[in-house]
């Protein structure tokens, strides 16, 4: 029993820490004695400390991965795949929280409330990564979605933020219903919800008859609900408006965290569950559609956050390439792609959040940034070149591994489409760099210095982006162990 408690100690700690932060914020922010303090920095540092302690608890519990018998056989599973995906999720959450410290002044919203609501869905995503049952999967994804609806509309004085939250609520409820319908169809056709049981029942199962049609509809519905959550085409329609209307740190969190948790869970479902070939075909189509639409739609954007939203849609297509392979190399390339994508996205949104302090909203506002703030311009340019897949940056390695895995599994159409869309995508990434270094703005903007927290965050992510190409062995070795453990 003690071992079981240790196995779930990270999730138990982060949910208790979140409730304590919530009580702390309510008591002190409404206190007349303390002159109603905003508590952004206080709650932010406490939230960051909570996430880091959760990370330490997760690392301390690594030797117990094979001890917790309950987690192996019922609702959840602990292995190397779960362990490393949860570490990546917590690191991304810590990076997102570190962007929020001065966001209340930049974007005029109550950042302390959003900081409290960031660890709350993180707990649900930790459970979702280790979910090994369709019921556990749905029960983990719903609290995560409810928190996302709230933090998307956390800038209450902005009608764009309110609109973003409303759209996300309506469309998210629709996708959750489809996901639950898929789980119920599979249970009604097989009588099982556990992934191991589904694997035994459906190994070599042919899609014939009414019962098989029900299974096929269930798998299709689960895929549709999951693809909606990660903004894959053709279920991407909500992403640009919600990414633009939400506060910048929240947009960064929505761009990274759901992709990590849902990708990990769908990997388990496709490997252990049922109809891996069917899911591969669905992801094959969505991967191609996401890459094409993300590349073409971003060319017409004039706002920085909408461009990053369409860039995120395109990168979902690249990451889905790993799913379409259905091999160990495909899962490994997917994990490498998610890790590098998370680093690039944190880097990009940290710079955008710092520039929003000077009311930078449109791409045209970046004119002559290299003359007024050369360090930010150089860092942003490195990130854009990495997004575009230009060597010797980490983004090139990510796409190289993904396309190489696609060629290795025989997806000869997927890799050329990815290469062509990457070339098209370089247009709008390099356009940003050209705007910063060579264009003269209509009105000059005096950019305020970046705060220390974002500077430290940018230093770490930029160092990883630039140093991964000459020394990829550590991440390559870790992701290979993760991919192997997911198949064992």
Quick one: 87 exposed, middle or buried, by C-beta within 10 A (0-12, 13-18, 19+)?
Answer: middle
Question: Could you tell me if residue 95 is left (phi over 0), alpha (psi between -120 and 50 degrees) or otherwise beta?
Answer: alpha
Average pLDDT over residues 282-310: 86
71 pLDDT above the threshold of 80? no
CA–CA distance, 411 with 427 (Å, rounded to integer): 26
| Average of per-residue pLDDT values in the chain | 80
341 vs 73: which has the higher pLDDT? 341
Q: Tell me: the pLDDT tens digits for 84-94?
A: 888 889 999 98
Average pLDDT over residues 197-221: 71
Q: Which pLDDT band holds residue 118 (cuts at 50, 70, 90)?
A: confident
290 vs 43: which has the higher pLDDT? 290
pLDDT at residue number 203? 67
Q: Which pLDDT band holds residue 74 (cuts at 50, 70, 90)?
A: low
pLDDT at residue number 151? 83
pLDDT at residue number 285? 85
Q: Which pLDDT band holds residue 436 (cuts at 50, 70, 90)?
A: confident
Average pLDDT over residues 266-285: 70
pLDDT at residue number 96? 87
Average pLDDT over residues 157-176: 81
Question: Could you tell me if residue 78 is left (phi over 0), alpha (psi between -120 and 50 degrees) or otherwise beta?
Answer: beta
pLDDT at residue number 38? 57
Q: Which residues share a beta bridge with 76?
A: 131
Quick one: 137 exposed, middle or buried, by C-beta within 10 A (0-12, 13-18, 19+)?
Answer: buried
261 pLDDT above the threshold of 70? yes
Q: Which pLDDT band holds residue 62 (cuts at 50, 70, 90)?
A: low
Choose the most confident range, by mean pLDDT, from 30-34, 266-270, 338-342: 338-342
Choose the most confident range, by mean pLDDT, from 63-67, 277-281, 358-362, 364-368: 364-368
Q: Which pLDDT band holds residue 57 (cuts at 50, 70, 90)?
A: confident
Average pLDDT over residues 196-216: 68
Q: Which pLDDT band holds residue 282 (cuts at 50, 70, 90)?
A: confident
Average pLDDT over residues 283-304: 85
Closest CA to 353 of 442, 446, 249: 249
Contacts from 418-423 at CB under 8 Å and sequence distance 24+? 418/291, 418/317, 418/318, 418/321, 421/291, 421/292, 421/294, 421/295, 421/314, 421/317, 422/295, 422/388, 422/389
191 vs 177: which has the higher pLDDT? 177
Closest CA to 224 of 212, 215, 237, 233: 233
CA–CA distance, 395 with 425 (Å, rounded to integer): 13
Average pLDDT over residues 382-387: 90
Share above pLDDT 70 across residues of the chain, in percent, rounded to a whole number? 84
Share above pLDDT 90 across residues of the chain, in percent, rounded to a whole number? 1
219 vs 341: which has the higher pLDDT? 341
pLDDT at residue number 215? 80
In contact, 449 and 357? CB cutoff 8 Å: no
233 backbone dihedrals φ, ψ, rounded to 5°: -70, 140
Closest CA to 348 of 301, 306, 388, 383: 383
pLDDT at residue number 358? 56
Q: Which pLDDT band holds residue 196 (cuts at 50, 70, 90)?
A: confident
In contact, 90 and 122? CB cutoff 8 Å: yes
Q: Which pLDDT band holds residue 68 (cuts at 50, 70, 90)?
A: very low
Q: Tell me: the pLDDT tens digits for 353-368?
A: 887 665 677 787 787 7
């Amino acid at each position: 029993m003690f071992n079981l408690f240790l196995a779930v100690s990270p999730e138990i700690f982060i949910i208790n820490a979140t409730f304590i932060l919530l009580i702390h914020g309510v008591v002190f922010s409404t206190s007349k004695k303390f002159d109603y303090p905003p508590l952004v920095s206080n709650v932010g540092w406490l939230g960051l400390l909570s996430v880091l302690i959760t990370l330490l608890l997760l690392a301390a519990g690594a030797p117990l991965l094979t001890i917790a018998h309950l987690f192996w056989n019922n609702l959840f599973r602990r292995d190397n795949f779960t362990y490393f995906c949860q570490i990546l999720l917590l690191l991304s959450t810590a990076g997102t929280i570190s962007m929020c410290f001065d966001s209340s002044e930049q974007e005029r919203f109550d950042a302390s409330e959003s900081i409290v609501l960031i660890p709350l869905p993180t707990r649900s995503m930790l459970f979702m990564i280790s979910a090994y049952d369709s019921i556990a999967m749905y029960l983990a994804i719903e609290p995560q979605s409810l928190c996302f609806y709230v933090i998307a509309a956390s800038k209450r004085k902005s009608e764009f933020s309110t609109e973003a939250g409303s759209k996300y609520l309506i469309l998210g409820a629709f996708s959750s219903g489809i996901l639950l319908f898929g789980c119920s169809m599979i249970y009604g056709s097989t009588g099982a919800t556990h992934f191991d049981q589904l694997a035994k029942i459906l190994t070599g199962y042919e899609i014939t008859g009414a019962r098989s049609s029900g299974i096929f509809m269930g798998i299709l519905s689960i895929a549709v609900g999951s693809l909606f959550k990660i903004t894959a085409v053709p279920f991407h329609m909500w992403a640009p408006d919600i990414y633009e209307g939400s506060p910048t740190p929240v947009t960064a969190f929505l761009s990274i965290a759901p992709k990590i948790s849902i990708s990990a869970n769908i990997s388990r479902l496709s490997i252990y569950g049922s109809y891996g070939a069917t899911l591969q075909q669905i992801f094959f189509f969505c991967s191609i559609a996401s890459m094409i639409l993300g590349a073409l739609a971003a060319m017409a954007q004039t706002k920085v956050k909408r461009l990053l939203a369409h860039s995120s849609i395109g990168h979902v297509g690249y990451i889905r390439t790993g799913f379409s392979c259905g091999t160990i190399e495909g899962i490994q390339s997917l994990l490498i792609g998610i890790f590098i994508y998370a680093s690039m996205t944190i880097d990009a949104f940290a710079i955008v959040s710092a520039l929003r302090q000077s009311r930078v909203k449109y791409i045209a506002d970046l004119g002559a940034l290299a003359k007024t703030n050369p360090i930010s311009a150089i860092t942003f340019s490195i990130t854009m070149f990495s997004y575009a897949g230009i060597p010797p940056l980490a983004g090139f390695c990510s796409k190289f591994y993904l396309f190489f895995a696609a060629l290795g599994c025989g997806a000869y159409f997927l890799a050329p489409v990815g290469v062509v869309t990457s070339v098209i995508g370089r247009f709008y990434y390099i356009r940003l760099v050209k705007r910063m270094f060579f264009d003269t703005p209509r009105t000059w903007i005096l950019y305020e210095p970046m705060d220390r927290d974002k500077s430290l965050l940018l230093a770490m992510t930029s160092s990883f982006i630039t140093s991964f190409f000459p020394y990829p062995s550590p991440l390559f070795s870790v992701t290979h162990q993760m991919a192997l453990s997911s198949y064992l």
